[in-house]
Structure 1
Amino acid sequence: MMESGESVYALIPPAVETKQRPPIYRSLQPGEVDPSQFEMGCGTVKKAATFGPPRGTLKPSTNTYLRKHSKEPALPDPGPLSQTKAKLKPDLPKDRPIMGLVSAKNFVTANAIENILASPKKLKDAPPLATQKKDYGKVPGYLTKVKDQVKREKEHIEHLTQKMMHDGASDGIRHMSEEERQELIVGLKQKWQRINEAYQKMSFTLDTGTKKAKKEQYEAELAQIEKDIETLSRRVVLVAEEPTTRMESLRLR
């Protein structure tokens, strides 16, 4: 019974308690006193007792409102209106042209004939033609000097080459034959091609030290082969014989 909230005591209704109201507030001051008699009463307003100017003095006037362009400076006096503008075009002729005149002249044909029969104008300072110059058809002097200089350089180089060959014959230096030179050039080109193919097959990413070293080795070998081919491309190539070859050649003599 207690769990369901029912009880035998609930059959008797409880007594209703009524609250007692407090007594009415009554002021201790008499109600017939005039508030204006007090110094801080609200019935009188002293001068300057409030902040700002007194009431009613800042009321806007209906005749002094802000108008358009009233704060802009006044424009200068334009002056008299008798100023005239500058004429851009001349005035029309006063004489009226004669109307109805027709000409039978063919202006196109007349202009063409006039230009055909006209003599050409002569220029004051016209440059002379190439055929009228004094050195026309002659070899320039600077080309002759250049050819002589090149010829002397070739003769000097050939003289030095022959002298080196003559002096180097006793020192184990000989002149390389054309067949041997061409054979070496072909062999170097084939070697350059093999190294270049291996160089092209390398990966773009050089993430290890071995790949970097291999790449640098290929580049050095290609540069050296190109330098050797350029050296063998000359007409005269001198070769120093090895000591064993020189001894064999002396024994054969």
Structure 2
Amino acid sequence: MRQLEGRVCVVTGAARGLGQTIAAALGAAGGRLALCDLREDALRAAAAALRAQGCEVYAAACDVSDSAAVEGFFATVAEVLGPVDVLVNNAALVPGGPEDEARRSRHYTYLTTPEPRDTLGFTSAMSDAEWLKYWGVNVHGVFFCTRAALKQMEPRRYGRIVNIASIAGLSALSAHSPHYSATKGAVIAFTRAVAAEVAGANIFVNAVAPGGVATPQFDDYIARLDPEARGRLFQMIPAGRLGTMDEYAGLVVYLAGDGHYLAGQVISPNGGMV
């Protein structure tokens, strides 16, 4: 079914991973795609692949943490494709550096191994810069893009906004990344507030809060774990596996369509973790 036939769909952070998969699913459902990312080479490659599959695509580099850049991107989308019908706020900084992975592995061991309880020391050791950089993309970026999209949706009394949050904003399972958890909790609160504000104009705002996602980046992290550590990770997931990007993308397509009565909901596919 091409339930999004002709709809103008913006996806941020669309150059790779979950964002690219979401864009492909929206395109397969008939959406006309407007994609942005900071990784220009990867974005061009993603756009070319989508065009080869028959999708209509406009793609441009955009730093979602830059208010002026966001306003310019959305103005160009309206000129090239028409006013925005669907916005997927996917762009985010995700902890994936060596220090992040060390904290994550330490936390997973702490959760799944009998050992004396003590502080893990993550928050007290975090710098101002590490804390603040996540807010620019993960929270301010969601606000800037939502504001720009609503300026085009409200006069037409139609729109669908899907914010990609995280299980980190719903639970303590990401205590290894307090900065990331805080930003995703903010996205969830923002989703609920804006949804209540605009639902009367037939603009439905919802959030998807994924558990583990089998992105290439997370698969690489798992592959570097020793067998015991890998087993501890999957022991935390009742379903025994990570969610696939296609499974998450299918939910986004549903929320981007007209066949539901959902507003202000936070849906968390997480294999039973929460």
**TM bracket, shorter-chain basis:** under 0.3
Q: Greater strand share, 1 or 2?
A: 2
TM-score (norm 1): 0.17
TM (norm. structure 2) is 0.16
- More helix by percentage: 2
